[in-house]
Amino acid sequence: MAKIWRFSRHDEQQVRSLSAGLRISPLMAQVLIARGYESSSQVQEFLEAKLVDMHQPELVPGLNEAANRILAAVENGRRITIYGDYDADGVCATSILWHCLKLLGANVDYYIPSRLEEGYGLNKGSIQELHEADPERLLISVDCGITSIEEANLAKELGLELIITDHHQFCDELPAAAVVVHPRLPGSEYPFGDLCGAAVAFKLAWRLCQLKGDGQKATPRMREFLLSAMGLAALATITDVVPLHGENRLLVRFGLPALTERPGCGMKALLTLCELQEKKLLEADDVAFNIGPRINAAGRLGQARLAVELLTTENPVRARELAVYLNEMNEMRKKVERKILKHAKEIVDENPEWESAPALVIASTEWHPGVIGIVAARVAEQYSKPTILIAINETTKVGQGSGRTVANLNLHKALTGAEEYLITCGGHEAAAGLKIEEDKIDDFRAAFCNQIQKQLQGDLPEEELWIDAEVRLADCTYNAVRELDRLGPFGERNPRPTFAATRVELAEPPRKMGAGERHLSLTLHQHGKRIKAIAFGRGDWADEIARTNGRLSVSFAVSINSFRGQSSVQLLLKDWKAEEA
C-alpha cells in the first residue's frame, strides 16, 4: 500500500526568528518547529536537557517499599533471586539489579525462564521449584510479572515473598505480590510512564544506592556503578523500542557514552566483535542494529541465561567465548527469519481471500516460536496490515503467536476483544504475544479481524509518512547532518528528521545487497549532486525503481556512514514515487 506523504507546514518568519535567535540553520529550525518546539526556551530545554532532570526514583509507585524490603533481606543474609525476562530488556534489567545487589554484599542469583518451554512471565512450576529449594528466599521479577495473577497467588499461598517490577500493560486485577513496582499503576502521579523494564530496575538500583549512602546521595563507588548501569538501561530502552522522549531520551543520551567509557568485560567483548570498540560515541543505531540483536538472539533461541552471564562475568576469556557464541546464534536467527518470511508470504499468496481482510493471522507447524515476532513486523510492513504469526507445536497442538501492528491500530485492544479463543495474551499497542489451541485459530482469525475492522470504522488503514521539510540533495551536507544529530538520540517517537526531494535521477542502476538480497543500494543525482542511499529490507524495490525511466521523488532520513576511517553522508530511503514525465 502506498504511503501518504504529509508535509509539515512552516511559517517562514518563525523559522527565520528561531534560526537567528539560537544561531541554528534554517533547516534545523524547520525540523524543530515541525516537532512542536516553537520557542527558544522550548528548544533550549530539549537540546540542553541535563541528567539532573531525571525524576527521583522514590516517585515510582511501590519502589520505596521494594527497596526497603530488599535491603532488609540483604542485611538478614537471605537469598535473593532475580526472575528476569528473556529479551534484551529483561537481560539488561537482570544484569543491572544483579550488579547492584552484589555491590551491596547480597546473596543473589538469577533465574531466566526458557522462552520455548516456559513462555513469557512468571511460571508456576518455576515458583514451586524456587520455593522448595529455599522457602526463605526473596523473589524479584524484572520486566515481567504484572499479568501473572495466578502465579503471584501461588507465591502468596506458599509464603514466598515476591516483588514484581514491570512496565507492561496490566490487567483489571493486579497481582497479589508483596510489592508491585510499576510507573503507571492506577492512581500513580509518576511524571513519566514509558520506562522500559531495565529502566525500572535502574530506578530501583538507584534508590538502593541512595539508601545505602546518606539516604539521598550514593557513595562514590555506587555512583560509579550507577553511571555504568545507565549504559545497560540505555541499551534496553533502545532495543525495547519504547518512546525516546522525556526520561527515556535522557537515559539514552547519557547512557550511550557509558557503554564505551565504563563497559564491563562482556560489553567490551561485544563491542570488539561488532567492530565498535574504537568508536568514541555510540549512536542509538549501533545498539539497535548491532549490539541489541545479538543479546536478543540468545533469548529467541532459548539461551537468554548466557546473555546475562555475558553482561555479568568478570572473566575476559569467558566474555569473549560468550560474545562469539551469541554472534553465531544471531547469524542462525537471521537465517531462520528469512526462511519463515518466505514461507509466510507463500501462505498469504495461497489465500487470495485474505487480500481484503483488515489483518493477517498466519500459522504453521514449521516455524521457530522465538523469531516470529521480527518476521511478523516485516509481514505487517509489507502488507500494511496488523499481523500475527503463530508457531504451532505439533505435539501439544498449541501455538505461540507474536503480533505487530501498523497505522496506530491497537493490537492489545484487538487481542483483548478476541481473547475468548486464546489461552493467554499480553503485550501493548504495537506488539503482543499469545497462546492458542490449533483448532481455535480460524475462529480467532475471524474475531481478530473483526476487532481491527471496528477500529478502522470501515476504512482501510492509511500509512502516513510525515515529512519535516522539502530539501535539495545539496542541502544534505556533513555539517548539516551533524547539527541535526543534536536532536537525537533517535528512535521510537523521536525519529531522524524525514525529508523529501523531487526531480531526483538515478546515477546508477539500483542494486540489491546483503544476505538474501534483502537491502537496496542506490546512487542518486540532482543538480550536480551525487549521493548514496540505502533502504534496509527493501530489496524488492530494486526492480520497480529500475523500470522507472523518469525522475523520482524520494523521502529519506540522513546519517553519517563511517567505514574504515572514512565518513560520508548517506540517505536512509523511506519511500519513493515515480514522477510523471
Each residue's pLDDT tens digit, 353-405: 999 899 999 999 999 988 999 999 999 988 989 999 999 999 999 999 999 99
> Residues 6 or more apart from 541 whose CB is under 8 A from it?
510, 520, 535, 576
Tell me the residue type at 450. Answer: N
Residue of 402, 384, 95 lying closest to 267 (CA atoms)? 95
Each residue's pLDDT tens digit, 163-181: 999 999 888 899 999 999 9
| Helix, strand, coil distribution of the chain in percent, nearest 5 | 45, 20, 35
> Rounded mean pLDDT of the chain?
93
Collapsed DSSP state (helix, strand, coil) of residue 245: coil
Q: 467 φ, ψ to 5°?
A: -115, 125
Whether the full predicted model's pTM is greater than 0.85, yes or no, is: yes
Average pLDDT, integer, range 532-536: 95
Percentage of the chain exceeding pLDDT 70: 99
pLDDT band at 462 (very low <50, low <70, confident <90, very high): low
Each residue's pLDDT tens digit, 264-295: 999 999 999 999 988 888 999 999 999 999 99
Does the pLDDT at position 125 exceed 70?
yes
Contact predicate 575/5, CB 8 Å = yes
Could you identify the residue written with the cell 508535509?
Answer: 7
The region, left, alpha or beta by phi > 0 then psi within -120 to 50, assigned to residue 36 is left
Strand partners, 79: 107
Higher pLDDT, 103 or 457: 103
- The set of cell numbers assigned to 383 is 502488507
List the beta strands (DSSP E) in 397-448: 398-404, 424-427, 431-437
Contact predicate 482/456, CB 8 Å = no
Q: For residues 310 and 576, what is the distance between their CA atoms, to the nearest angstrom?
A: 42
Average pLDDT, integer, range 205-222: 93
Contact predicate 524/504, CB 8 Å = yes
Each residue's pLDDT tens digit, 315-367: 999 999 999 999 999 999 999 999 999 999 999 999 999 998 999 999 999 99
Set out the domains of the chain in order of their start, with CATH numbers: 4-48+465-578 (2.40.50.460), 57-327 (3.90.1640.30), 351-456 (3.10.310.30)
How buried is residue 565: exposed, middle or buried, by Cβ count under 10 Å (0-12/13-18/19+)? Answer: exposed
Please write down the HEC assignment for all residues of 313-370.
Answer: CCCHHHHHHHHHHHHHHHHHHHHHHHHHHHHHHHHHHCCHHHHHCCCEEEEECCCCCC
Peptide bond preceding 220 in cis form (omega within 30 of 0): no
Average pLDDT, integer, range 38-66: 94
pLDDT band at 458 (very low <50, low <70, confident <90, very high): low
Higher pLDDT, 82 or 463: 82
